[in-house]
């Protein structure tokens, strides 16, 4: 924390990490979001038809994607791609003494390596979540329109009917906590690696497994928090 909050700030490295976490994860997150939107549309259509509530389909898709599926899918995709990437990168740097070299150069490795990566994860997760939400809703519309043509405008108006900022903002910003979890775990696993190539593999694996698990567990707590404070 001290390293992250005190100067000198590593702006160049932060920008590089924002690019790594954000733009490199965007295609994967967008595709995952689209897949979820399509699946939701197919499943929800089938279920809602049974109860004669097909007209609720746009709202069902939008609310499901924005309030839960978008954030959790983004968190899990990023914990896989970014968690493994950061864990392996820092582990590799650890076993090849690059982190020692940074420290020997009178540069705080926690400030330069860990704080920048953690902050990048925290800042980029909400933006990636918005991208997943957008592709999820779009794919949901596309799936629906193939079966029963409806204009995108009509779908969105119907879907967002009655929604307020409280609908979107808390679920989107809960992903900052996901970002903190992914960044912290991956940096911790990477920077304490021992044991050569085997250690690097272990660090990457444990980064993914632990960050995915803690993202899911955190989601339980955060959903409860949101329901209480943003009813």
Partner 1 sequence: MANKQDEIESGGGAVVLAVENVYKSFDGRKVLNGISLGVNRAETLAVLGRSGTGKSVLLRLIIGLTKPDSGSVRIHGQDISSLTLDQLGDVRKKMGFLFQHAALYDSLTVGENVAFPLDHHRREMARSEKSDRVRQLLAEVGMERDAGKMPSDISGGMQKRVGLARALALEPEILLLDEPTAGLDPISSGEIDELVLKLQREHQMASIVVTHDLHSAKTIANRLALLDKGNVVIEGTFEDLQQSNIGFVQEFLKQA
DSSP labels for 146-207? Answer: HHS---HHHHHHHHTTT--HHHHHHHHHTHHHHHHHHHHHHHHHHHT--SHHHHHHHHHHHH
Beta carbon nearer to partner 1, 68 or 103: 103
The smaller minimum CB distance to partner 1, of residues 4 and 223, is found at: 4
Place of tokens 């914990």: 79
Of 107 and 152, nearer to partner 1 (C-beta) is 107
Please, what is the minimum distance in Å from the beta carbon of residue 18 to partner 1?
15
Nearer to partner 1, 92 or 207 (CB): 92
Shortest Cβ 20–partner 1 spacing (Å): 10
Compare residues 11 and 51 and give the one whose CB is closer to partner 1. 11
SS3 108: coil
CB of 124 to partner 1, least distance (A): 19
Instruction: Provide the minimum distance between the beta carbon of 93 and partner 1 in the complex, in angstroms, as a whole number.
Output: 8
Q: Which residues bind partner 1 (CB under 8 A)?
A: 8, 12, 92-93, 96-98, 100-108
Q: Which long-range contacts (CB under 8 A, 24 or more apart) does 201-204 make?
A: 201/88, 202/91, 203/87, 203/88, 203/90, 203/91, 204/84, 204/87, 204/88, 204/91
Q: Please give the C-alpha separations between residue 211 and each of 27, 57, 76, 181, 189, in angstroms, as whole numbers.
A: 21, 33, 8, 6, 10
Q: State the nearest-atom distance from the C-beta of 89 to partner 1, in Å.
A: 8
């Amino acid at each position: 924390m001290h390293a992250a909050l005190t100067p000198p700030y590593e702006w160049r490295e932060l920008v590089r990490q924002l690019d790594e976490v954000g733009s490199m994860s965007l295609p994967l997150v967008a595709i995952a979001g689209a897949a979820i939107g399509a699946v939701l549309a197919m499943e929800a259509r089938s279920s809602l038809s049974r109860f004669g509530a097909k007209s609720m389909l746009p709202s069902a898709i939008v609310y499901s994607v924005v309030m839960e599926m978008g954030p959790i899918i983004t968190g899990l995709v990023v914990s896989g791609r970014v968690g493994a990437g950061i864990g392996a990168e820092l582990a590799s740097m650890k076993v090849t003494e690059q982190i020692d070299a940074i420290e020997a150069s009178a540069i705080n490795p926690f400030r330069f390596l860990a704080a920048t990566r953690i902050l990048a994860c925290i800042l980029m997760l909400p933006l990636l979540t918005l991208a997943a939400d957008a592709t999820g809703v779009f794919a949901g519309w596309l799936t629906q329109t193939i079966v029963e043509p409806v204009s995108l405008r009509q779908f969105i108006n119907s879907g967002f009917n009655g929604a307020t900022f409280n609908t979107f903002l808390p679920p989107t910003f809960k992903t900052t906590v996901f970002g903190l979890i992914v960044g912290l775990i991956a940096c911790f696993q990477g920077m304490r690696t021992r044991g050569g190539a085997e250690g690097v593999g272990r660090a990457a694996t444990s980064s993914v497994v632990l960050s995915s698990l803690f993202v899911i567990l955190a989601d339980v707590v955060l959903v409860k928090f949101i329901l209480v404070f943003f009813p």
